[in-house]
Amino acid sequence: MTKIRWVWELMGFALLSVIALYAMAPFRSNLMIALVFLVPFVLVFLIPSATSALVENTAELTKSFTWWHWLILISFVSGLTFRLREVQEIQANPLDAAAMIKLLLVAFIGVLLLARLLGGKSPWLRAQFRGLVGLMMAFAIISLVTTFWSVKPSWTLYKSIEYMVMLALYAAIVVYASRIEEYESVLNWVYALLSVLLVSAWIGAVIDPADAFNFGSSGLFVIPQLNGVFPVLAANGIGTMGAILALVAISRLMMPVTGKVFGGWYLTLAGFGIISMILADCRSATFGFLVGFLVLLSFTRHLIAGIFVSLFGLALALFSGAGKSILLYLARGQHAKELEGLSGRVEFWQFGWQKFLERPLTGWGGFAGGRFLILPQVTDPGQPMPSDLHSNIMEPLVDTGIFGLLFILLALVGVWWYLYRGYRSQKLNSREARFAAECMVVLTLLTVRFTVSDFTTIYPGLPFLGIVCYAEYVRRRLKFGPAPEHVPDPSS
């Protein structure tokens, strides 16, 4: 049967290749010709196995679906943006219809978690203040306290409570889940939701290419930059999600956490993620992906070979026309001064540092200082204003002072420490250790982006909090050993 299947696949590949020869006739671009030739290979050898794996993975995820999957989904939906509002609009009408729906969704999560707590199904209250989740909760409490002197008290109060609800959700998962399969399910669900967001961006590109693709203010982008139309997704977000999915897919090809490899599916997912990352033209995500891939090679003992191939590719690019094209792509049509200013970030950070020095211990208000104090003063009139300072260092410094940043850094270092200890420890089985390595690969990307993005406190920070959740599981495994098997409540 295998030989017959291969015969049909080769016949299909040959037929589609002939069709591709005719299809590429109008094109004069070498890149387009190469892409057209790739289509038969993808359709014949990758799509069938990828579709089969997708169906099987979806069936497994459906069987394991429980209450926390629904709550993560609700938190995911509540964090989506379907319209952009300037600071002036938020100040004039903080609770428009979309904001009210988001508030109700967050309130629903909080009420359901409270009901589970009072009903004894998920005693998450103590877990919320312990371990790695507790370090993030310390930041949220500091942010909540700053409501009393915040430049926008109502915003600080709401966003702090919102983030505390999110942390309570992951604390409840840590208390309830006791097996590696459950934590794999949590992160697989997070990655599935990120995939849905990327697909929505591509659908928007097909339906509304004028809004989805950005050619730069001067029209000098080498390739158009992909943005999400509905929901609204910044190119940096698309690039980061694409890089995460690509790293996860490649990790599971090189370090399968189970006996099932699903080669076609993960090859397709890796290609989808890399293409999305390239079209998003997010430089920090691309660099983070490359560093994460090197970390993966070190885990699989291919680091030397990877460095050699990288150096060879770099030399090839330098001595060919590809090097100039890559530099133009990375420049994104910007001049040297704009590149030195990191697309305006340095100006934000310099002004933010001045404001931090005025209130180094108290900050200007959790989730509010950067948005309502710094950005309105440094954004040129008529230009769209960013939603944050694009820095997981400067944002908490301005908002909550030095103590807020301290707990974020402690949490980040703690996650790295316990994941690495778990990977090296004999107390964890091979599946748990490999999954810890996969989490570290993704965490490498997020850590690289730490200084130029806000991924730990942005709501909902699904990938990071999912990894925190697993790192807390590893911490408990190392300290207490394997937890007793629980019997899931049928009503949950």
Contact 358, 149 (CB under 8 A): no
pLDDT in tens, 153-176: 988 998 999 999 999 999 999 988
Q: What does the alpha-carbon distance between residue 373 and residue 316 come to, in Å, rounded to a whole number?
A: 47
For residues 138-154, give the mean pLDDT. Answer: 93
H or E segment to which residue 213 belongs: strand 213-214
Largest CA distance in the chain: 74
Tokens 């707590």, located at residue: 117
Q: Is the pLDDT of residue 468 over 60?
A: yes
Q: Is the pLDDT of residue 31 over 60?
A: no
Claim to verify: residue 96 and residue 217 sit in the same structural domain? yes
Residue of higher predicted confidence among 461 and 201: 201
Last residue of a domain, one of 63, 86, 104: 63
Residue burial 20-36, b: 16+ Cβ < 10 Å; e: rest: beeebeeeeeeeebeeb
Give the per-residue pLDDT at 346: 75
Would 486 be classed as within a structural domain? no
For residues 419-438, give the mean pLDDT. Answer: 92
For residues 457-467, give the mean pLDDT. Answer: 73
Q: Which of 248-257, 288-297, 377-386, 433-442 has the lowest mean pLDDT?
A: 377-386
Claim to verify: residue 19 and residue 168 sit in the same structural domain? no
Would 165 be classed as within a structural domain? yes
Would 211 be classed as within a structural domain? yes
Claim to verify: residue 271 and residue 404 sit in the same structural domain? yes
pLDDT in tens, 73-105: 999 888 887 766 655 566 556 666 677 888 899
Q: What does the alpha-carbon distance between residue 286 and residue 305 come to, in Å, rounded to a whole number?
A: 20
Would 490 be classed as within a structural domain? no
Claim to verify: residue 143 and residue 32 sit in the same structural domain? no
Q: What is the mean pLDDT of the chain?
A: 77
Q: What does the alpha-carbon distance between residue 123 and residue 491 come to, in Å, rounded to a whole number?
A: 16
Last residue of a domain, one of 33, 63, 93: 63
Give the per-residue pLDDT at 470: 94
Burial of 155 (0-12, 13-18, 19+ CB in 10 A): buried
Residue of higher predicted confidence among 29 and 359: 359
Helix or strand or coil: residue 464?
A: helix
Q: What does the alpha-carbon distance between residue 143 and residue 165 come to, in Å, rounded to a whole number?
A: 14
Residue of higher predicted confidence among 239 and 259: 239
Claim to verify: residue 47 and residue 164 sit in the same structural domain? no
Q: Is the pLDDT of residue 325 over 70?
A: no
How far is CA 445 from each of CA 265, 292, 335, rounded to the nearest angstrom?
22, 6, 26
Give the per-residue pLDDT at 6: 42
For residues 440-444, give the mean pLDDT. Answer: 95
Confidence of residue 32 (pLDDT cuts 50, 70, 90): very low
Give the residue ranges of DSSP H helices in 79-152. Answer: 87-92, 97-118, 131-145
Claim to verify: residue 32 and residue 87 sit in the same structural domain? no
pLDDT in tens, 36-52: 555 555 544 455 555 66
Claim to verify: residue 243 and residue 382 sit in the same structural domain? yes
pLDDT in tens, 169-224: 999 999 888 889 899 989 999 998 998 888 888 888 878 887 877 766 555 566 77
Would 248 be classed as within a structural domain? yes
Residue of higher predicted confidence among 331 and 340: 331
Claim to verify: residue 165 and residue 104 sit in the same structural domain? yes
Give the per-residue pLDDT at 276: 86
Would 485 be classed as within a structural domain? no
Cβ-based neighbour number of residue 7 at 10 Å? 10
Claim to verify: residue 184 and residue 278 sit in the same structural domain? yes
Would 487 be classed as within a structural domain? no
Claim to verify: residue 148 and residue 58 sit in the same structural domain? no
For residues 349-353, give the mean pLDDT. Answer: 83
Contact 283, 330 (CB under 8 A): yes
Q: Which of 261-265, 321-325, 379-383 has the lowest mean pLDDT?
A: 321-325
Tokens 């104090």, located at residue: 373
Q: What does the alpha-carbon distance between residue 4 and residue 184 come to, in Å, rounded to a whole number?
A: 36
Which amino acid, 251? S
Domain total in the chain: 2
Q: Kindly report the backbone phi and psi dihedral angles of residue 75, in degrees, each rounded to the nearest multiple of 5, phi listed first.
A: -65, -35
Q: What is the dihedral of CA 393, 399, 400, 405, to 10 degrees?
A: -10
Would 488 be classed as within a structural domain? no
Q: What does the alpha-carbon distance between residue 457 and residue 454 come to, in Å, rounded to a whole number?
A: 7
Claim to verify: residue 23 and residue 132 sit in the same structural domain? no
Domain that holds residue 300: 71-316+328-480
Q: Are strands 213-214 and 225-226 parallel, antiparallel or unpaired?
A: antiparallel
Q: Is the pLDDT of residue 237 over 70?
A: yes
Claim to verify: residue 196 and residue 342 sit in the same structural domain? yes
Q: Is the pLDDT of residue 409 over 90?
A: yes
Residue of higher predicted confidence among 458 and 150: 150
